[in-house]
A and B are shown apart, each in its own frame.
Chain A
Amino acid sequence: MNKPILLSRSNIFLFIIVLALIAFPFVMDSRTLTILVTQILIFGILAMSYDILLGYTGIVSFGHAMFFGIGAYCTAIMLNDFESTIFVFIGSIAVGMVIAGILSFIVGLLTLRLKSHFFAMLTMAISGLLLVVAEKWRSVTKGNDGFTFKAPEVFKDRIVFYLVVLALIVIVFIVLKRFVNSPLGRVLIAVRENEQRTKSLGFKTLYYKVIASVLAGVIASLAGSLYAVSLRFVNTAVLTMEITLDALLMTIIGGVGTLIGPLVGAVVIESAQHYLSGLARDFPIFERWIIFFGIIYILAVIFFPKGIVGTIQAKYFQWKDKKAQLNVVPLSKNKESSK
């Protein structure tokens, strides 16, 4: 009963969704829609990486954008300065991941000892510092204006790029799922639940928090690389607080600690952003869509503290429990009478 079954109901469900997503660009011949879904998938990767921090390890970071930005800049700069080929693209992803990994390792080691709110503040400060550097270092980044670059030839076809992103999100999902269900992942959850007790069981919690933050940083960098290619443009916006808040919102609205939740969150937030900014042309109030997110956020925290997926999961377990209890009652009665 407790065996991890490959063909569990939820896995079949996910498999069908992936099939639908593969078929989607061929069925719906809409460039805007393909671009929108690509964007959703990219932010889905980012949000899942944030979930490793927030949902699984209980770390609140306000600086996650720095790793996203590192990926985005690595890919943009390398594709621009070298050749715009698929090899450079792959290499730039690797370079971004390594830099993000090293940075998150150092930041983690220096700051994760601190109380959580100090950590949150410090990550915000470091990420802010990186933003300033990117703005001032105009020779490389072109600052706030940013620069456009050529994507590799194969990605001229939006569908090809879409499929690459889809493949990557599936891989990231599987890897992260494995990770959180490993003995190591279990300890991360223990840290989230009660760090002091985790220590008293003999686990060096700092190591676990650093591992979580390196993994999250590396995956965020991948998302950043893909994001840059999807726009064929990069500017300092990739390093701003807005990216971090997007990841935070997606994770919370979708449901922390579920991995699927952040994906659902990405769908909700990205499509809302898309349609609300469309509405803004007719109703200027929608230009302030960030206000709507504030409202969604407050409502979500009040009514769905577990997020969309978390709430559904809880309901499902309740229902299963009830069913199980109905089945168990006669059995336990027998036991008692035989005593």
Chain B
Amino acid sequence: MEPIIRTENLSISFGGHKAVDRVNFEMPEKHFKSIIGPNGAGKTTFFNLISGELKNTEGDVFFKGQSIANLSSVERTRLGLGRSFQITNVFPNLTVLENVRLAVQSREKIRFNPFKHYLHYKKITQDALTILEQVLLENKAHHIASQLAHGEKRKLEIAMLLALDTEVLMLDEPTAGMSLEEVPAILDVIKSIKSRGDKTILLIEHKMDMILDLSDSIMVLFNGKLLADGSPSEIMNNTTVQNAYLGGLYDGELVET
């Protein structure tokens, strides 16, 4: 079957520095793949290349067999590539509900109606609230986004991605910086999406226990290069990966970061 996402020698250089270096990967449909790698390995940059936030300088990226390298991030989102951001990237002076509502509005393709009052779209508000409940943020619905605690901002970031309801979900360290009590709830959300089985999910994470539990496959980036891509057990037993990155200490060191 045609993979839903495929890259061919996908690369980008910043000046002389190659942040993503000739990565070839394939993502089967309805698959759950995690991306790991040390800080600065190029994971976020790789996401940016797929979602269109950055344009690749070399190689190509395909969505359902069609090259999307020249499409803008807007067009890629509309095709079905949704993503969340590692550094929280929301609408700071709007309420939590309004942030999510905008994402639902986009999903429903209500783009240019200039006259009807936005609150008349009851279904949109209702959907937004439902998603906020999912990420346990409904009690903050009317708070201003910039005044949320860090963990809550991360939840909002995820809620906005869920609200878009795209075929592909790309999550960039969704639980980074969350307090330990908050992580299980987000994990549950991700698990329940996975169990529904209708989404293709790419996850960047450092928490190894979480990754091993969720992933169908894991890919390892190191200095911008694809070091390995395989099932969780393959990756854990891969000596190159162990030497270069895991150093045999994965559940000690990685969970910390």
Contacts and interface: CB of A to CB of B under 8 A. Distances in A.
B90 A194 contact: yes
B43 interface: no
B73 interface: yes
User: Which of A187, A193, A196 has the most CB atoms of chain B within a 10 A radius of its CB?
Assistant: A193
Contact of A178 (B110, B117, B160): B117
Nearest to A204: B74
A120 B111 CA distance: 26
Given A186-B101, A200-B51, A200-B83, A4 B116 contact: no
Interface string B73-116: 11001100001010001111110001001110110001111111
Contacts of B92: 193-194
A198 to B, nearest CB: 8
Given A183-B105, A201-B164, A193 B51 contact: no
A4 B117 contact: yes
Contacts of B111: 183-184, 187, 203
Interface in A161-185: 178-179, 181-185
Contacts of B103: 201
A189 B72 CA distance: 21
Contact of B115 (A178, A200, A204): A178
A183 B114 CA distance: 7
A200 B51 CA distance: 8
Contacts of B94: 189-190, 193
Overall SS of chain A's interface: helix
Contacts of A211: 112, 114
B117 A201 contact: no
Nearest to B107: A202
B51 to A, nearest CB: 7
Given A178-B117, A193-B91, A197-B90, A184 B77 contact: no
Interface residues of A, number: 28
Interface residues of B, number: 36
A152 B88 CA distance: 58
A2 B101 CA distance: 14
Contacts of B115: 178-179, 182
Contacts of A181: 117-119
User: Which of B83, B94, B121 has the most CB atoms of chain A within a 10 A radius of its CB?
Assistant: B94
B188 interface: no
A3 B83 contact: no
B118 A182 contact: yes
B117 A202 contact: no
Contact of B118 (A185, A194, A199, A202): A185
Contacts of A190: 91, 94, 102
B91 A194 contact: yes
A184 B125 CA distance: 15
List 3 tightest A-B contacts by C-beta distance, closest first. A193-B91, A202-B77, A202-B106
Interface of A: 2-4, 178-179, 181-187, 189-190, 193-194, 196-205, 207, 211
Interface of B: 51, 53, 72-74, 77-78, 83, 85, 89-94, 98, 101-103, 105-106, 110-121, 125, 160, 164
11 contacts: A4-B117, A178-B117, A183-B105, A183-B113, A187-B105, A190-B91, A200-B53, A201-B103, A201-B164, A203-B111, A211-B114
Given A182-B117, A202-B106, 11 more contacts: A178-B115, A178-B117, A182-B113, A193-B92, A193-B93, A194-B90, A196-B53, A197-B89, A200-B51, A201-B77, A201-B103
